[in-house]
A and B are shown apart, each in its own frame.
Chain A
Amino acid sequence: MSNEMITDAAKEAMDGFEPAESANEKKQMDNMLDFDDDPLSATGVSRKSLVIFFLIDTSGSMKGKKMGELNTVMEELIPEIRKVGEADTEVKVAVLTFSTDVKWMYSTPIPIEDFEWARLRANGVTSMGAAFKELNLRMSRNSFLNSPSLSFAPVIFLMTDGYPSDDYKEGLKELQANSWYKFGLKAALGIGNEANDDVLAEFTGSADTVVHAYSGGQLAQMIKIIAVTSSQIGSKSMTLSDDSGREIGEEDVFAAKQKLLGQQIQELVGSKVEANDVPFDTGW
């Protein structure tokens, strides 16, 4: 997916975003200020950064083509997310898998340039509540969000194919008290018929940011749409003023971003439904 998939309506909604400086201008400035014997170049300059959290259900029901397709899509997705960050944002990725246990793919968020997908296997039950608790623990300045250059609230993307097997409400309650979660951009993807959209909407806070994939083709499309769109919106600076130039609060900016994400996801999903795809529950 690329920028040309963003519709006119979505472009209009993004009028409050600041334009990025061109890569050429940046390069010129870099050349002007770089010289060979600068000892300070040992510590690199970090651009504004954004962390994307993927919460991925790896329970037994994901076994087979669902997990195979998900692994393939995620491998393909990484270069596309790299493009999002090319201009002026450093995107970092953190992947939390949950089945009987919860496990991070890496011990800390990894810059997208260095990120390599580790193919996942499916097994066990769906400990979604435990995943929410683990996410809550890590979404802190003392843990995964400790980078000084962190400038944007995180993007949190949940993917699951079934109903939680633990008390997800308890985990969600803890998560909902976390400021990073409150201001983060949240989206969820239900995979197959068993995924419960109500649970997913509870997680994202809105039905607009929940989509469903019933086939391998849809799964690939939905993951790309959500991941790329949310990182594009999440990594843009919005002006803290409304049309009349009056100042608006940061909370309003976060709410506007979440609303925009819902609008864009629904528009893009609506334009991408393919009828000839084989559904998970019959084909797989």
Chain B
Amino acid sequence: MFNGFSHSVMGASHEKTGLVCQDNSSFKVCDNYAVAVVADGHGSKKHFRSHLGSKYAVESTIEAIDRYYENTEDFEENFPKNYKMILRNIEKQIISNWNKKVEKHLEENPVTDEEKSKFTEEEFEKIPPESYYGSTLIAAVTSKKFTFGVQIGDGSLVALFEDGKAVMPMEYNESAPANVTASICNSNAAGMFSSFFTDKKKLIALFASTDGLYTSFGSEYDFLDYHTIITSQLTNIEAFKQIIVNNLTKRSHFGTEDDISLSCVFNQEILDSSIDIIKNAVEDNKKRAADRRAELLTKQVDI
């Protein structure tokens, strides 16, 4: 019933500077639910283990969702009634799982002299240990009865419901210059999550991506259209996976040069029954893009 894919590509800027890929992504499909998750390690100097932090964020999320679904029947009955509270609990569970993984790793792998050598003693003392592993997180979950998502920090969540329109159900909170992204490592992380829940619409496909994907587009319309195009090809997902990988690599190289992760889960039955709607949406989007471009180039001053 559910299917999916996920992929992370390394940014050109990280290749140049010798950094490892700071992104991580995964997906999991089961009979009753499917999870798409991505995380973007901050990568700056004080977050020197953030490639591990993003891995732990992805693992922590899937473990948390699995745990809630251990009793599927109860969970699916209670969630719609108390979704705000349950979403908060899921977020807290993810943070708790992540902190345990970070603590364990740090205990088994104390900070090395080489890692410390990049800071003065005073600077190093000021960095909270969990910050070494700082990361964002975007998780998208769908089941037979509802769809929800949680997010901390930059990144995007796109959903296509049965009307064939690509939407971002969580407001994308792109930072202005010099603003710092929210992080799972923040001491008040539990209060920094955004979330959404719906049991009113049937979901076709759900995507989570790190901000390297969003920033490789010139407009938000193009970004949403991109997801509609991918959805139109999901009926033949195995053949299309390599095309997606190539495109993400190209975007990472020619866009903002950041790492890019994209994870997707979809409902195969609803996709099959809605494929004509999606294909029509792809064609409509092309026409609208042409109209927008013509409007863009119209001068407004008297000449």
B142 within 8 A of A: no
Interface residues in A67-104 (C-beta closer than 8 Å to B): 90, 97, 103-104
Chain B: interface residue total (CB-CB under 8 A): 52
Contact stretch, chosen from B53-61, B198-206, B212-220: B212-220
A46 touches B217 (CB 8 A): yes
Which segment, of A161-169, A224-232, A242-250, faces chain B? A242-250
B18 interface contact, C-beta 8 A: no
> Nearest Cβ in chain B — how far from A32, in angstroms?
9
- Beta-carbon contacts under 8 Å, B133-186 to A: 174, 176-179
Residue of A nearest to B251 (CB): A45
| Chain A residues positioned under 8 Å from B233 (CB to CB) | 39
| Chain A residues with CB below 8 A from B230, complex form | 40
**Which chain B positions have C-beta within 8 A of A48?**
215, 255-257
- Given the interface pairs A26-B254, A107-B295, A121-B302, the reply to whether A148 lies near B177 with Cβ below 8 Å is no
Q: A39-B229, A106-B297, A106-B298 are in contact. Are A149 and B218 (CB under 8 A)?
A: yes
Q: Which of A33, A35, A42, A149 contacts B217 (CB 8 A)?
A: A149
Q: Is B299 an interface residue (CB 8 A)?
A: yes
Residue B286 interfacial (CB < 8 Å):
yes
The reply to whether A108 and B296 contact each other, CB–CB distance below 8 Å, is yes
> Which of A26, A103, A141 is the one whose CB lies under 8 Å from B301?
A103
Complex: A121 Cα to B16 Cα, angstroms: 48
Take A38-B243, A40-B247, A249-B178 as given contacts and tell me if A107 and B298 are in contact as well, using a CB distance cutoff of 8 Å. yes
* Complex interface: stretch among A2-10, A112-120, A215-223: A112-120
B296 in contact with A45 (CB, 8 Å):
no
Q: Which A positions have Cβ atoms within 8 angstroms of B? A: 18, 21, 26, 29-30, 33-35, 38-49, 90, 97, 103-108, 110-111, 114, 116, 118-121, 141, 146-151, 153, 179-180, 182-183, 240-241, 245-247, 249-251, 254
B residues lining the A interface (CB < 8 Å):
12-13, 16, 44-46, 118, 120, 123, 174, 176-179, 214-220, 222-223, 225-226, 229-230, 232-233, 243-244, 246-247, 249-251, 253-257, 282, 286, 295-303
